[in-house]
Amino acid sequence: MARGRLDRDDAPTAVRLAVVPVHPDDDEALRRWTDLHIAVEEADLPGDPPISRVVRAGMLRHPWPGTERLAWLALEDGETVGALDFDLSTVDNLDTAPLGLEVHPTHRRRGIGRALLAAASERALAADRHRLVAESALGGAGEAFARAVGARSVLIETERRLVVDNLDEAHLADLLADARAHSSGYSVLQWVGPTPDEHLAAMGELTSRMSTDPPLDDLAWEPEVFDADRMREADRRSELRGNISYVTAARDDSSGSVVGFTRLVVARDVRTVAWQWQTIVLPEHRGHRLGLLVKVENLAHLRRHEPAVTVIHTGNADSNAPMLRVNVALGFVPVRRWSEWELTLPG
Protein backbone atom coordinates (compact mmCIF):
# COMPACT_ATOMS: atom_id res chain seq x y z
CA MET A 1 0.00 0.00 0.00
CA ALA A 2 1.27 3.47 -0.80
CA ARG A 3 2.31 5.35 2.30
CA GLY A 4 2.72 9.01 3.16
CA ARG A 5 4.18 10.96 6.05
CA LEU A 6 2.67 13.79 8.07
CA ASP A 7 4.99 16.20 9.88
CA ARG A 8 4.98 18.53 11.97
CA ASP A 9 3.78 22.07 12.32
CA ASP A 10 0.76 23.73 13.85
CA ALA A 11 0.60 27.50 13.90
CA PRO A 12 -1.86 29.91 12.30
CA THR A 13 0.70 32.52 11.22
CA ALA A 14 0.57 33.27 7.50
CA VAL A 15 3.81 32.62 5.59
CA ARG A 16 4.79 33.32 2.02
CA LEU A 17 6.23 30.23 0.34
CA ALA A 18 7.30 29.23 -3.12
CA VAL A 19 6.21 25.63 -3.66
CA VAL A 20 8.29 24.29 -6.53
CA PRO A 21 8.33 20.80 -8.09
CA VAL A 22 11.21 18.39 -7.61
CA HIS A 23 12.13 16.89 -10.97
CA PRO A 24 13.67 13.39 -10.98
CA ASP A 25 16.63 14.56 -13.09
CA ASP A 26 17.38 17.61 -10.89
CA ASP A 27 20.18 16.42 -8.62
CA GLU A 28 20.24 19.62 -6.56
CA ALA A 29 16.49 19.51 -5.88
CA LEU A 30 16.73 15.82 -4.97
CA ARG A 31 19.59 16.61 -2.58
CA ARG A 32 17.50 19.34 -0.90
CA TRP A 33 14.48 17.04 -0.69
CA THR A 34 16.58 14.32 0.96
CA ASP A 35 18.43 16.72 3.27
CA LEU A 36 15.10 18.00 4.57
CA HIS A 37 13.85 14.46 5.17
CA ILE A 38 17.04 13.58 7.05
CA ALA A 39 16.69 16.66 9.26
CA VAL A 40 13.09 15.73 10.09
CA GLU A 41 13.99 12.10 10.84
CA GLU A 42 16.87 13.09 13.13
CA ALA A 43 14.67 15.49 15.07
CA ASP A 44 11.52 13.40 15.35
CA LEU A 45 12.67 9.78 15.20
CA PRO A 46 15.84 9.59 17.31
CA GLY A 47 17.69 6.31 17.06
CA ASP A 48 16.33 5.46 13.62
CA PRO A 49 18.81 4.18 11.03
CA PRO A 50 20.48 6.37 8.41
CA ILE A 51 18.47 7.33 5.33
CA SER A 52 19.47 5.83 1.99
CA ARG A 53 20.05 8.70 -0.43
CA VAL A 54 20.01 6.24 -3.33
CA VAL A 55 16.61 4.84 -2.41
CA ARG A 56 15.22 8.30 -1.62
CA ALA A 57 16.11 9.57 -5.09
CA GLY A 58 14.83 6.32 -6.60
CA MET A 59 11.38 6.94 -5.15
CA LEU A 60 10.97 9.80 -7.63
CA ARG A 61 13.04 8.38 -10.46
CA HIS A 62 11.48 4.92 -10.43
CA PRO A 63 7.91 5.01 -9.05
CA TRP A 64 6.15 1.71 -8.54
CA PRO A 65 4.26 0.37 -11.55
CA GLY A 66 0.77 1.80 -11.63
CA THR A 67 1.76 4.87 -9.59
CA GLU A 68 2.96 8.43 -10.12
CA ARG A 69 5.30 10.00 -7.56
CA LEU A 70 5.25 13.80 -7.31
CA ALA A 71 7.23 16.02 -4.94
CA TRP A 72 7.60 19.72 -4.16
CA LEU A 73 9.96 21.82 -2.08
CA ALA A 74 8.71 24.73 0.03
CA LEU A 75 11.16 27.61 -0.30
CA GLU A 76 11.28 30.79 1.75
CA ASP A 77 13.80 33.31 0.42
CA GLY A 78 15.51 30.43 -1.37
CA GLU A 79 15.85 28.29 1.76
CA THR A 80 14.22 24.86 1.95
CA VAL A 81 11.78 24.97 4.86
CA GLY A 82 9.44 22.12 3.98
CA ALA A 83 8.35 19.60 1.39
CA LEU A 84 5.37 17.60 0.30
CA ASP A 85 4.87 14.62 -1.97
CA PHE A 86 2.15 12.38 -3.37
CA ASP A 87 2.31 8.71 -4.33
CA LEU A 88 -0.72 8.53 -6.61
CA SER A 89 -2.04 5.24 -7.92
CA THR A 90 -3.18 5.34 -11.53
CA VAL A 91 -5.03 1.99 -11.43
CA ASP A 92 -6.89 1.84 -8.09
CA ASN A 93 -7.76 4.07 -5.12
CA LEU A 94 -8.25 6.86 -7.63
CA ASP A 95 -9.97 9.13 -5.10
CA THR A 96 -7.02 8.99 -2.67
CA ALA A 97 -3.76 10.94 -2.43
CA PRO A 98 -1.20 9.38 -0.06
CA LEU A 99 0.61 12.43 1.28
CA GLY A 100 4.03 13.18 2.73
CA LEU A 101 4.28 16.57 4.45
CA GLU A 102 7.42 17.69 6.27
CA VAL A 103 8.54 20.94 7.89
CA HIS A 104 12.17 21.58 8.77
CA PRO A 105 12.62 21.43 12.58
CA THR A 106 14.06 24.97 12.75
CA HIS A 107 11.07 26.46 10.90
CA ARG A 108 8.15 25.01 12.82
CA ARG A 109 5.26 26.79 14.50
CA ARG A 110 5.24 29.50 11.84
CA GLY A 111 2.31 28.22 9.80
CA ILE A 112 4.39 26.40 7.18
CA GLY A 113 2.62 23.09 7.83
CA ARG A 114 -0.80 24.63 7.24
CA ALA A 115 0.44 26.44 4.15
CA LEU A 116 1.80 23.17 2.76
CA LEU A 117 -1.44 21.37 3.59
CA ALA A 118 -3.35 24.03 1.64
CA ALA A 119 -0.99 23.53 -1.30
CA ALA A 120 -1.36 19.77 -1.08
CA SER A 121 -5.16 20.02 -0.94
CA GLU A 122 -5.21 22.25 -4.01
CA ARG A 123 -3.02 19.85 -5.97
CA ALA A 124 -4.98 16.80 -4.83
CA LEU A 125 -8.30 18.30 -5.91
CA ALA A 126 -6.78 19.28 -9.25
CA ALA A 127 -5.96 15.57 -9.70
CA ASP A 128 -9.57 14.70 -8.72
CA ARG A 129 -8.46 13.24 -5.37
CA HIS A 130 -10.75 14.03 -2.47
CA ARG A 131 -9.07 12.12 0.35
CA LEU A 132 -5.60 12.59 1.84
CA VAL A 133 -3.98 9.69 3.67
CA ALA A 134 -0.79 10.11 5.71
CA GLU A 135 0.95 8.76 8.78
CA SER A 136 2.75 10.15 11.82
CA ALA A 137 4.30 8.87 15.01
CA LEU A 138 1.96 9.11 17.97
CA GLY A 139 2.74 11.41 20.86
CA GLY A 140 4.57 14.02 18.80
CA ALA A 141 3.94 17.15 16.79
CA GLY A 142 2.68 15.17 13.81
CA GLU A 143 -0.23 13.80 15.79
CA ALA A 144 -1.04 17.25 17.17
CA PHE A 145 -1.02 18.72 13.66
CA ALA A 146 -3.21 15.95 12.26
CA ARG A 147 -5.82 16.44 14.97
CA ALA A 148 -5.67 20.23 14.65
CA VAL A 149 -6.50 20.10 10.93
CA GLY A 150 -9.36 17.63 11.46
CA ALA A 151 -7.75 14.41 10.26
CA ARG A 152 -9.17 11.15 11.55
CA SER A 153 -7.06 8.30 12.96
CA VAL A 154 -8.00 5.16 11.01
CA LEU A 155 -5.24 2.62 11.75
CA ILE A 156 -2.78 2.19 14.62
CA GLU A 157 0.53 0.43 14.04
CA THR A 158 3.56 -0.37 16.17
CA GLU A 159 7.09 -0.07 14.82
CA ARG A 160 9.39 -2.81 16.13
CA ARG A 161 13.13 -3.38 15.96
CA LEU A 162 15.24 -6.54 16.08
CA VAL A 163 18.86 -6.12 17.16
CA VAL A 164 20.88 -8.87 15.51
CA ASP A 165 23.44 -9.07 18.35
CA ASN A 166 20.60 -9.84 20.77
CA LEU A 167 19.37 -12.89 18.87
CA ASP A 168 19.06 -16.07 20.92
CA GLU A 169 20.41 -18.70 18.54
CA ALA A 170 19.08 -21.63 20.58
CA HIS A 171 15.62 -20.05 20.65
CA LEU A 172 15.73 -19.51 16.88
CA ALA A 173 16.66 -23.16 16.39
CA ASP A 174 13.69 -24.20 18.53
CA LEU A 175 11.34 -21.96 16.55
CA LEU A 176 12.59 -23.41 13.27
CA ALA A 177 12.23 -26.98 14.52
CA ASP A 178 8.66 -26.26 15.63
CA ALA A 179 7.80 -24.66 12.28
CA ARG A 180 9.25 -27.55 10.33
CA ALA A 181 7.37 -30.06 12.46
CA HIS A 182 4.07 -28.38 11.60
CA SER A 183 4.79 -27.77 7.90
CA SER A 184 5.09 -31.26 6.51
CA GLY A 185 4.29 -31.23 2.79
CA TYR A 186 5.87 -27.82 2.23
CA SER A 187 9.40 -26.88 1.19
CA VAL A 188 11.38 -23.65 1.28
CA LEU A 189 12.63 -21.66 -1.73
CA GLN A 190 15.01 -18.70 -1.48
CA TRP A 191 16.34 -16.07 -3.84
CA VAL A 192 18.05 -12.70 -3.92
CA GLY A 193 16.69 -9.95 -6.15
CA PRO A 194 13.96 -10.38 -8.77
CA THR A 195 11.39 -13.16 -8.59
CA PRO A 196 12.22 -16.18 -10.77
CA ASP A 197 9.95 -16.22 -13.83
CA GLU A 198 8.27 -19.47 -12.83
CA HIS A 199 6.99 -17.94 -9.59
CA LEU A 200 5.86 -14.52 -10.86
CA ALA A 201 2.17 -15.39 -11.12
CA ALA A 202 2.03 -16.91 -7.64
CA MET A 203 4.00 -14.04 -6.14
CA GLY A 204 1.67 -11.57 -7.85
CA GLU A 205 -1.35 -13.27 -6.29
CA LEU A 206 0.27 -13.18 -2.86
CA THR A 207 1.34 -9.54 -3.22
CA SER A 208 -2.21 -8.61 -4.21
CA ARG A 209 -3.43 -10.06 -0.92
CA MET A 210 -1.24 -7.61 1.02
CA SER A 211 -3.94 -4.99 0.35
CA THR A 212 -6.82 -7.24 1.45
CA ASP A 213 -5.71 -9.76 4.08
CA PRO A 214 -3.88 -7.79 6.81
CA PRO A 215 -6.29 -5.81 9.00
CA LEU A 216 -6.78 -2.19 7.94
CA ASP A 217 -9.17 -1.25 10.76
CA ASP A 218 -11.01 1.91 9.58
CA LEU A 219 -8.70 2.68 6.65
CA ALA A 220 -10.64 2.37 3.39
CA TRP A 221 -8.37 0.92 0.72
CA GLU A 222 -9.26 -0.74 -2.57
CA PRO A 223 -7.51 -4.00 -3.48
CA GLU A 224 -4.30 -3.69 -5.48
CA VAL A 225 -3.94 -6.30 -8.21
CA PHE A 226 -0.53 -7.66 -9.24
CA ASP A 227 -0.32 -9.99 -12.22
CA ALA A 228 2.96 -11.51 -13.40
CA ASP A 229 3.84 -8.48 -15.53
CA ARG A 230 3.25 -5.97 -12.73
CA MET A 231 5.21 -8.19 -10.35
CA ARG A 232 8.16 -8.35 -12.74
CA GLU A 233 8.11 -4.58 -13.19
CA ALA A 234 7.88 -3.97 -9.43
CA ASP A 235 10.98 -6.13 -8.93
CA ARG A 236 12.81 -4.25 -11.67
CA ARG A 237 12.00 -0.85 -10.23
CA SER A 238 12.90 -1.97 -6.71
CA GLU A 239 16.39 -2.80 -7.95
CA LEU A 240 16.61 0.49 -9.83
CA ARG A 241 15.71 2.26 -6.59
CA GLY A 242 18.77 0.71 -4.94
CA ASN A 243 17.07 -2.06 -2.97
CA ILE A 244 18.48 -5.56 -2.51
CA SER A 245 15.67 -8.02 -1.82
CA TYR A 246 15.96 -11.29 0.15
CA VAL A 247 12.99 -13.62 -0.22
CA THR A 248 12.05 -16.92 1.36
CA ALA A 249 8.95 -18.63 -0.01
CA ALA A 250 6.93 -21.67 1.06
CA ARG A 251 6.05 -24.10 -1.74
CA ASP A 252 3.22 -26.59 -1.55
CA ASP A 253 4.91 -29.84 -2.57
CA SER A 254 1.70 -31.37 -3.92
CA SER A 255 1.06 -28.55 -6.42
CA GLY A 256 4.54 -27.09 -6.78
CA SER A 257 3.11 -23.59 -6.26
CA VAL A 258 4.40 -20.87 -3.97
CA VAL A 259 1.76 -20.31 -1.27
CA GLY A 260 3.50 -17.89 1.08
CA PHE A 261 6.55 -15.68 1.32
CA THR A 262 8.41 -13.03 3.28
CA ARG A 263 10.79 -10.31 2.08
CA LEU A 264 13.63 -8.42 3.75
CA VAL A 265 15.22 -5.47 1.97
CA VAL A 266 18.59 -3.75 2.34
CA ALA A 267 19.52 -0.46 0.66
CA ARG A 268 22.56 -0.65 -1.58
CA ASP A 269 24.23 2.28 0.18
CA VAL A 270 23.16 1.45 3.79
CA ARG A 271 24.14 -2.16 4.43
CA THR A 272 23.74 -2.11 8.23
CA VAL A 273 19.93 -1.98 8.27
CA ALA A 274 17.27 -4.31 6.87
CA TRP A 275 13.59 -3.57 6.47
CA GLN A 276 10.85 -6.15 6.73
CA TRP A 277 8.50 -5.79 3.80
CA GLN A 278 5.67 -8.23 2.99
CA THR A 279 4.84 -11.47 4.76
CA ILE A 280 1.75 -13.36 3.59
CA VAL A 281 0.39 -16.92 3.35
CA LEU A 282 -2.64 -17.95 1.29
CA PRO A 283 -5.65 -18.52 3.58
CA GLU A 284 -6.07 -22.17 2.61
CA HIS A 285 -2.49 -22.91 3.67
CA ARG A 286 -2.55 -21.18 7.05
CA GLY A 287 -2.31 -23.15 10.28
CA HIS A 288 0.95 -24.90 9.33
CA ARG A 289 3.41 -22.41 10.88
CA LEU A 290 4.39 -21.26 7.37
CA GLY A 291 4.66 -17.62 8.41
CA LEU A 292 7.06 -18.58 11.19
CA LEU A 293 8.93 -20.96 8.90
CA VAL A 294 9.63 -18.42 6.16
CA LYS A 295 10.55 -15.63 8.59
CA VAL A 296 13.08 -17.71 10.54
CA GLU A 297 14.56 -19.09 7.31
CA ASN A 298 14.69 -15.62 5.75
CA LEU A 299 16.50 -14.20 8.76
CA ALA A 300 19.23 -16.79 8.22
CA HIS A 301 19.15 -16.09 4.46
CA LEU A 302 19.74 -12.39 5.10
CA ARG A 303 22.53 -12.96 7.61
CA ARG A 304 24.43 -15.21 5.21
CA HIS A 305 24.46 -12.51 2.53
CA GLU A 306 24.48 -9.32 4.63
CA PRO A 307 26.75 -9.86 7.64
CA ALA A 308 26.98 -6.11 8.28
CA VAL A 309 23.26 -5.83 9.14
CA THR A 310 22.89 -4.97 12.81
CA VAL A 311 19.19 -4.12 13.04
CA ILE A 312 15.94 -5.07 11.31
CA HIS A 313 12.84 -2.84 11.33
CA THR A 314 9.23 -3.86 10.91
CA GLY A 315 5.77 -2.47 11.57
CA ASN A 316 2.38 -4.08 12.03
CA ALA A 317 -1.14 -3.00 12.75
CA ASP A 318 -1.89 -3.53 16.43
CA SER A 319 -4.88 -5.62 15.34
CA ASN A 320 -2.70 -8.07 13.33
CA ALA A 321 -2.36 -10.58 16.18
CA PRO A 322 -0.97 -13.56 14.17
CA MET A 323 1.94 -11.57 12.72
CA LEU A 324 2.63 -9.87 16.04
CA ARG A 325 3.02 -13.28 17.69
CA VAL A 326 5.62 -14.28 15.13
CA ASN A 327 7.56 -11.03 15.41
CA VAL A 328 7.56 -11.09 19.21
CA ALA A 329 8.75 -14.70 19.15
CA LEU A 330 11.65 -13.69 16.90
CA GLY A 331 12.69 -10.97 19.33
CA PHE A 332 11.33 -7.75 17.80
CA VAL A 333 10.74 -5.10 20.48
CA PRO A 334 8.46 -2.03 20.26
CA VAL A 335 10.04 1.30 19.34
CA ARG A 336 7.10 3.64 18.76
CA ARG A 337 3.47 3.70 17.68
CA TRP A 338 2.11 5.26 14.51
CA SER A 339 -1.26 6.32 13.21
CA GLU A 340 -2.61 6.43 9.69
CA TRP A 341 -4.68 9.59 9.24
CA GLU A 342 -7.44 10.35 6.79
CA LEU A 343 -8.58 13.83 5.78
CA THR A 344 -11.54 14.34 3.46
CA LEU A 345 -11.24 17.41 1.23
CA PRO A 346 -14.23 19.63 0.44
CA GLY A 347 -15.45 19.91 -3.13
- Is residue 257 domain-shared with residue 197, that is, in the same domain? yes
Render pLDDT for 102-120 as a digit per residue (tens, 0 to 9): 999 999 999 999 999 999 9
> Is 36 contained in some domain?
yes
- Is residue 142 domain-shared with residue 174, that is, in the same domain? no
- Is residue 48 domain-shared with residue 166, that is, in the same domain? no
Q: Please say whether the dihedral angle defined by the alpha carbons of residues 33, 306, 161 and 87, taken in this order, is positive or negative.
A: positive
Question: Starting at the edge strand that comes first in sequence, how are the strands of the sheet with 67-76 ordered?
Answer: 18-21, 67-76, 79-89, 96-103, 131-137, 333-344, 152-163, 311-317, 270-281, 258-267, 243-252, 186-192
Cβ contact 82:74 at 8 Å: yes
- Is residue 249 domain-shared with residue 182, that is, in the same domain? yes
Q: Please say whether the dihedral angle defined by the alpha carbons of residues 92, 30, 139 and 42, taken in this order, is positive or negative.
A: positive
- Is residue 114 domain-shared with residue 184, that is, in the same domain? no
Rounded to an integer, what is the distance from CA 194 to the centroid of its chain? 19
Average pLDDT over residues 24-40: 97
- Looking at 131, 150, 169, the residue that finishes a domain is 150
- Looking at 105, 128, 150, the residue that finishes a domain is 150
Q: Residue 10: pLDDT above 50? A: no
- Is residue 37 domain-shared with residue 89, that is, in the same domain? yes
- Is residue 55 domain-shared with residue 171, that is, in the same domain? no
Render pLDDT for 133-161 as a digit per residue (tens, 0 to 9): 999 999 988 999 999 999 999 999 999 99
Q: Residue 19: pLDDT above 50? A: yes
- Is residue 228 domain-shared with residue 327, that is, in the same domain? yes
Model confidence at 47, in pLDDT bands (50, 70, 90)?
confident
Q: Residue 1: pLDDT above 80? A: no
Residue numbers of the domain that contains 211 = 159-336
For residue 215, the domain's CATH number is 3.40.630.30
* pLDDT > 90 fraction of the chain, expressed in percent and rounded: 92
> Is 347 contained in some domain?
no
Query: Alpha-carbon distance 333 to 249, whole Å?
Result: 25
- Is residue 172 domain-shared with residue 84, that is, in the same domain? no
What pLDDT is stored for residue 141 in this prediction?
84
What pLDDT is stored for residue 8 in this prediction?
47
> Is 2 contained in some domain?
no
Query: Alpha-carbon distance 234 to 111, whole Å?
Result: 38
What pLDDT is stored for residue 236 in this prediction?
98
Average pLDDT over residues 179-194: 97
- Is residue 328 domain-shared with residue 280, that is, in the same domain? yes
What pLDDT is stored for residue 5 in this prediction?
56
Model confidence at 292, in pLDDT bands (50, 70, 90)?
very high
Domain count, the chain: 2
Render pLDDT for 240-257 as a digit per residue (tens, 0 to 9): 999 999 999 999 999 999
- Please tell me the least confidently modeled range out of 11-20, 36-45, 102-111: 11-20
Average pLDDT over residues 4-33: 78
CB-based contacts of 77, cutoff 8 Å, min separation 6: none
pTM comes to 0.93
> Is 44 contained in some domain?
yes
Burial code (b: 16+ CB inside 10 Å, e: under 16) for 300-331 equals ebbbeebeebebbbbbbbeebeebbebbebbb
3-state SS, residue 129:
coil
Average pLDDT over residues 55-71: 96
> Is 314 contained in some domain?
yes
- Is residue 142 domain-shared with residue 181, that is, in the same domain? no
> Is 6 contained in some domain?
no
What pLDDT is stored for residue 267 in this prediction?
98
Model confidence at 12, in pLDDT bands (50, 70, 90)?
very low
- Is residue 114 domain-shared with residue 231, that is, in the same domain? no
Model confidence at 304, in pLDDT bands (50, 70, 90)?
very high
> Is 90 contained in some domain?
yes
Query: Alpha-carbon distance 28 to 35, whole Å?
Result: 10
Average pLDDT over residues 55-84: 96
- Looking at 117, 150, 183, the residue that finishes a domain is 150
> Is 1 contained in some domain?
no
- Please tell me the least confidently modeled range out of 26-35, 98-107, 199-208, 212-221: 212-221
